[in-house]
Each structure stands twice: as structure tokens, then as C-alpha cells.
Chains A and B, each alone.
Chain A
Amino acid sequence: MKFLSRFYMALIFFILYAPILVVIVFSFNGSGSLSHFSDFSLHWYRELFRDGEALSALKNSLFLAVTSSVFATVIGTFAAFGISRAKRRYYQVAVETVSKIPMMNPDIVTGVSMMLLFVGVASILKLSNVLGLWTMLIAHTTFNLPYVILSVLPKFRQMDKSLTEAALDLGCTPAQTFFRVELPFIVPGVISGLMMSFTLSLDDFVISHFVSSPDFKTLPLYIYNQTAHEVKFSMYALCTLLIFVILILLIAVNLAGSAEDRKLRKKNRAGAKGGRG
């Protein structure tokens, strides 16, 4: 029985990770074959870094991921602040729910509707070729926003209201209170929101596909274009690199989260002890 359950788990993980493993392994394959592994080589990585188009797509992706995640984090943090401060409970719940809907909306719907919006606005303003960097930036910031709110709002809710009052009491203006007391408290939520936005932006394909143009390609769009004709093995190398970037970010988010949990547990223990004296 025990063996069975172990085997079952191994099988699940195998199914989950087999495709990724294939990509990683064959990215180091010296011969250009998908069926047999001849020798270990960094050939495809060298090839990749000689590919100017791939590098410019990488640059675009990184630029977009950084800017859109920073914008989304700033806007989302203030949105969470506002939601947590709303006086009426039902209003809070309503706004929070509305802010979550875009996360559940199919990407294809979001992508198509954004494209229609951009093109529509452009035709009203009599602009042509509106799709590109700016529409990508707006789209990515928009779909990142709910995730930031999702990770920051609970931190505001955890915060004891009297912390804010204590800061005001000690002479802080509301702005000083935010930056000196509230922001330090919610920073773990802000950081995880930022990292989540970064990864989401980095690997988005569907929405980007609709709101971008041929002269502003991100990595996922570029990879898709490449594989449409024939699979170049340098794409394996590119995917491997992407997998590792995302993996590192995920580990960082989780580590930050668990460090925060430990701190909270410790504090609760200290609080319980204090209560008993």
C-alpha cells in the first residue's frame, strides 16, 4: 500500500515535469536530433546568444516585466490601502470581488477586448499603428493589478488599526504614517505581489498576442513565431533559461513568505507568553 502511494506520487510528478525535463535535457544536446542524445554541448546556447532577434525579444520582455510589475505594484498597493480603509463592510467586499474578476476571466477574452479597446480609442483619436510597447505596458499592468491587490490587501487587514493611530498620535501626518508605519508592515505582501506580477508578465502569451505588433515582440511571442515554422534547438535553450528564471523567482517568493510566517509565529508565541506574564 505504501509502495503504491509512493509510486502514484512519483508518477504524478513525472507527468508534470517530463515535458520540462525533455526541454532542458535536449537543450544541451550536441546533435540536432529530438530522438537521441549524442553529446553534452552548449552549442544551442551559443546559437541563441548570436540570434539578435531573440536577444531583442528578451530585452523587451525584461523591460516590460519590470515596468509593468512596478506600475501594477504601486497602483495595486494604493488600491488595497483604499479598499481596507472603506468604512462600510459590504462596500469593501464588493470592490474586492470586482477587482478579482479579471483573474478568472479567460485570457483570450481579456486579450481580444483589450485589442478592441485600443484600436477603438486609436480610431477616435485618429492614430494609426497604436499597438506596440505602450499597449503592451497598459495591458500587462492591468492584468497584474488584481494579483497585487490579492497579495497586499491581507497585509492591510492583518495590521492592528491602533498602529496607524499610534503613528498619528506621535505626530505623523497621514502621509508620514503611511510611509513610516503602514508601508513597512505590508512590505512582504508588496514584494510577493511585485514578483508575481513580474513572472506573470514575463510568460504571458495570449493577451500579448492580441495587443502587440510585429515590431514589439516579447519572448513568448518570438518563441511561438519560431516554432510555427520549424523548431530551432536554440528555442530549447531559451525555454530552459526562462524556466530557471521563473523557478528562482518562485523560490524567492516562497522563502519570503515562510520567513514572514516564522516571524508571525514567533510573535504570537511571545504575545501568548506576555499574556501569561
Chain B
Amino acid sequence: MNKDILIRLNGISKAFDGETVLDSISLEIHDKEFITLLGPSGCGKTTTLRIIGGFETPDEGDVFFDGKRINDVPPYQRQVNTVFQRYALFPHLNVFDNIAFGLRIQKRPDAEIRQKVKDMLAMVNLKGFERRKVSTLSGGQQQRVAIARALVNQPKVLLLDEPLAALDLKLRKDMQNELKNIQHQTGITFIYVTHDQEEALSMSDTVVVMAHGQIQQIGSPTDIYNEPVNAFVADFIGESNIVDGIMLADRSVRFAGHTFVCVDGGFAKNEQVDVVVRPEDVDVVPVEKGMLKGLVTGVTFKGVHYEIIVDVDGFKWMIQTTDFVAEGETIGLYIEPDAIHIMKKSEFSGMFGDYSSFSDELDKLSVITEDEEEE
């Protein structure tokens, strides 16, 4: 596996105006991998991408490409190409000339350029668009041109900076599939930056979760979802109930006033831990059969399931269930051993995973302000 490593970041740190953006990041990226840098805005994911692309120089640490240190290699001499968030198509050139741009700089023969551009347009489903002005294209079409313009140079690595952020939901889903297909077809390494956890989980071979300029966890999408290392990852990837617990012994944990059988071990006796239970893993049962009991304080219909908020001794749990439960009802909760995931305490403990102030509108609002901050 070791000789597959295409890019290696070694202790990269970067600060802007004295503010640390990246704090000693180390990361290995393998050949032909689809790797996603995932995190909220300001976590350093875009800066990491820009360092790989050559648009920023790290203050500390080294970037290796194919075993060679490339810290001081300018972007135009790197074997990587970028798809920019706002497309960055050249407004004075038409679709053909935009895609041919890189090949013309390399002074390739005209016949080859024509053939390659044609192939690229076919790949991104834009046959016949050669002479169109880029300003007449829709957002999705511009995005495809941007992808074609980068891929036509056959880079070893394609960097994608939130390429789908400006598209609407339906188009975004289509483009996700298309990007995944293109990656399979071409065998090019994709480094993808997004703050959309669903996008990261559905597209990537490897997900790198970042926060506060540090890498929190690296793993496959299932690892990240099922075995989050700390409260931040558990909360950022999907919904999570995160409760304080005490590890009584291997495979036995006490939280919410009840002792549960679990599948984790290797902690000290009576160690304080964070316990994660996903909303879809909690079963609603009659009160007498439940391990915990609680009062339903909120019910939201989500289509596939109901999302209910249950107050268990003051801590509010989010539970997803297909059975209707009325607000004000007292219900029992049942949790299987393998639905319980134990995490060591971290700097993020106690910050996430309690749904007492939860409301859909609030969630949306905070997403919007987050996006604006990035502008």
C-alpha cells in the first residue's frame, strides 16, 4: 500500500494574519482514491486543497508529490488541476476554447486538441456545445465545462473545491453520480472538499473529517459513521444522541440511569466516556418493555419516518421511527448492544448531541449564516 501514496502532507501548518487555519496536518493520499475533506466552514479544508494546488504555501511542514517535495513548485508546474467553486470559466472564450485552454498552453497539435475536447464534451454530456458562450450556460452546464477543462489535461490528481455547492438539490444528486462515474472511468485521484456530510459519505472512498484546523478522523464512510472518534465527528456526520456515560467494565456501560450491554471495550474501569446512539437505532416500545422511558415533546413528519424528541430525565433524545407516536405520550426506549458506540472524552464533549434546543428552523438558519460567512 505504501508505494501507492501519491501525495503526502507532513505536519502542515498555516496561519493568515496570525490566525491559525491549519494546525500540523498530516495526511496520505493514495493513487486512484476518491478522498473527501469534510468539515464546517473555517475548518481549513479549502486551505488544505489550495496548498496541494500550489495557491498557498505552508508556513510549516512539507508537501510531497510522488515522493518529491513540492512546497516551492508553482501551480503551473504541478500535475494537478482544479475545479473551482465558482467555476472560474474564462468569460471571453467559448466552451471549446475554455476546454482547449490547457492543451493550447502545452502547444499540442490542433488535431489532437479537437479530438480530446470532443471526447471530454461527450463525457460530460455537452455534445454540440462547442461554440456556445459560457455566459449562456446554466450553472450545471458551466460546472461540467469546468470539470472537462480540468480533466482534459489528464492530471494525476483532480482537486474539487465544493464544486456542487451552487447547484440545486436534484442537479447536485445527478452530478454526484456523474462525478463518481467519471472518477471510475478515468482512474484519476479526486480530492474533494465539501461541508455536506451526505455528499461525502455517498461519494468517497476515504473521508477526512476536519475541525479547528485539525484532522479529527480519517476513514471509510462506514467507519466514520459507525465508529466516530469523538463528539464532533458523531454530531457532524448524521444525527447523534451523545450522552455522558461511565464504563463499568468491558462491554458494560451505564448512562441515563441504566446499565447497558455494549460491544466496546478497552477502557479503564469507571472511565468517563461519551456514548453515541444514532436516532434510527433506538426502538420505540411500550413503557413496561423499555430500558428507558420518556415523554414525547415533539413530533415531525419527515416522509420516510417521524422524527420525535423524547425527554428522558431532562436529556432530550432524537429518535427516528416509522410508528406514529403522539406528542405528550410516555414511551419506552429500547437500545440493542451494537447500537451503542463508546468514545473517549475529548475537547468536544458536552458541546453536541443534546436536542433540547433543537428545531428544524434553527438548524437551517445556522447553515445559512455559515454559508454567508464563507463568501
User: A263 on the interface (CB 8 Å rule)?
Assistant: yes
A266 to B137, CA, bound (A): 11
Q: Is the CB of B105 within 8 A of A263?
A: no
Query: A211-233 interface mask toward B, CB cutoff 8 Å, 1 = contact, 0 = none?
Result: 00000000000000000000000
Tell me which of B27-35, B86-94, B116-124, B303-311 binds A.
B86-94
Instruction: Give B345 Cβ to nearest chain A Cβ, in Å.
Output: 41
Number of interface residues of B (CB under 8 A): 37
Q: Is the CB of B86 within 8 A of A165?
A: no
Q: Is the CB of A270 within 8 A of B135?
A: yes
- Note all chain A residues with C-beta closer than 8 A to B140: 274, 277
Q: Is the CB of B86 within 8 A of A274?
A: no
Within A179-215, the residues touching B (CB, 8 Å) are 180-181, 184-185
Contacts known (A168-B75, A171-B106); A274 close to B142, Cβ less than 8 A:
yes
Contacts known (A173-B76, A263-B135, A274-B138); A160 close to B105, Cβ less than 8 A:
no
- Note all chain A residues with C-beta closer than 8 A to B153: 170-171
Query: B135-178 interface mask toward A, CB cutoff 8 Å, 1 = contact, 0 = none?
Result: 11111111000000110010000000000001110110000000
Closest partner residue, chain B, to A165 (CB atom):
B55
Instruction: Give B176 Cβ to nearest chain A Cβ, in Å.
Output: 15
Q: Is the CB of A163 within 8 A of B137?
A: no
Within A59-106, the residues touching B (CB, 8 Å) are none
Q: Is the CB of A277 within 8 A of B167?
A: yes
- Note all chain A residues with C-beta closer than 8 A to B149: 166, 170
Closest partner residue, chain B, to A163 (CB atom):
B88
Q: Is the CB of B76 within 8 A of A267?
A: no
Closest partner residue, chain B, to A177 (CB atom):
B76
Cross-chain contact of B92 among A162, A184, A274, A275 (Cβ < 8 A) = A184
Query: A140-182 interface mask toward B, CB cutoff 8 Å, 1 = contact, 0 = none?
Result: 0000000000000000000010110111111111001000110
Cross-chain contact of B84 among A162, A263, A275, A276 (Cβ < 8 A) = A162
- Note all chain B residues with C-beta closer than 8 A to A171: 76, 102, 105-106, 153
User: B81 on the interface (CB 8 Å rule)?
Assistant: yes
Contacts known (A165-B82, A274-B166); A172 close to B90, Cβ less than 8 A:
no
Cross-chain contact of B136 among A180, A270, A277 (Cβ < 8 A) = A270
A171 to B77, CA, bound (A): 7
Closest partner residue, chain B, to A181 (CB atom):
B90
- Dominant secondary structure of chain A at its interface with chain B: helix
- Note all chain B residues with C-beta closer than 8 A to A185: 91-92
Cross-chain contact of A169 among B82, B89, B171 (Cβ < 8 A) = B82
A200 to B85, CA, bound (A): 43
Q: Is the CB of A267 within 8 A of B82?
A: no
- Note all chain A residues with C-beta closer than 8 A to B81: 169-170
Query: B90-131 interface mask toward A, CB cutoff 8 Å, 1 = contact, 0 = none?
Result: 111000000001100110000000000000000000000000
Contacts known (A275-B139, A277-B139); A169 close to B76, Cβ less than 8 A:
yes
Q: Is the CB of B74 within 8 A of A166?
A: no
User: B53 on the interface (CB 8 Å rule)?
Assistant: yes
- Note all chain A residues with C-beta closer than 8 A to B150: 169-170
User: A273 on the interface (CB 8 Å rule)?
Assistant: yes
A28 to B113, CA, bound (A): 62
Closest partner residue, chain B, to A168 (CB atom):
B75
Within B209-230, the residues touching A (CB, 8 Å) are none
Instruction: Give A45 Cβ to nearest chain B Cβ, in Å.
Output: 43
A173 to B85, CA, bound (A): 22
Q: Is the CB of B88 within 8 A of A166?
A: yes
Instruction: Give A148 Cβ to nearest chain B Cβ, in Å.
Output: 21
Closest partner residue, chain A, to B74 (CB atom):
A168
Cross-chain contact of A172 among B89, B105, B167 (Cβ < 8 A) = B105
A162 to B166, CA, bound (A): 16
- Note all chain B residues with C-beta closer than 8 A to A270: 135-138
**Chain A residues packing against B (C-beta within 8 Å):** 160, 162-163, 165-173, 176, 180-181, 184-185, 263, 266-267, 270-271, 273-277
**Chain B residues packing against A (C-beta within 8 Å):** 53-55, 74-76, 80-82, 84-86, 88-92, 101-102, 105-106, 135-142, 149-150, 153, 166-168, 170-171
Q: Pick the 7 closest A-B CB pairs, nearest first.
A: A274-B139, A277-B168, A170-B102, A162-B88, A166-B88, A184-B92, A171-B105
Given A170-B81, A270-B138, 9 further pairs, Cβ under 8 A: A160-B86, A162-B86, A166-B89, A170-B153, A176-B105, A184-B90, A266-B135, A277-B168, A277-B170
18 contacts between A and B (CB under 8 A): A165-B75, A165-B84, A165-B88, A166-B89, A167-B90, A168-B74, A169-B81, A170-B76, A170-B102, A170-B153, A171-B106, A181-B90, A185-B91, A267-B135, A273-B138, A274-B141, A274-B166, A277-B170
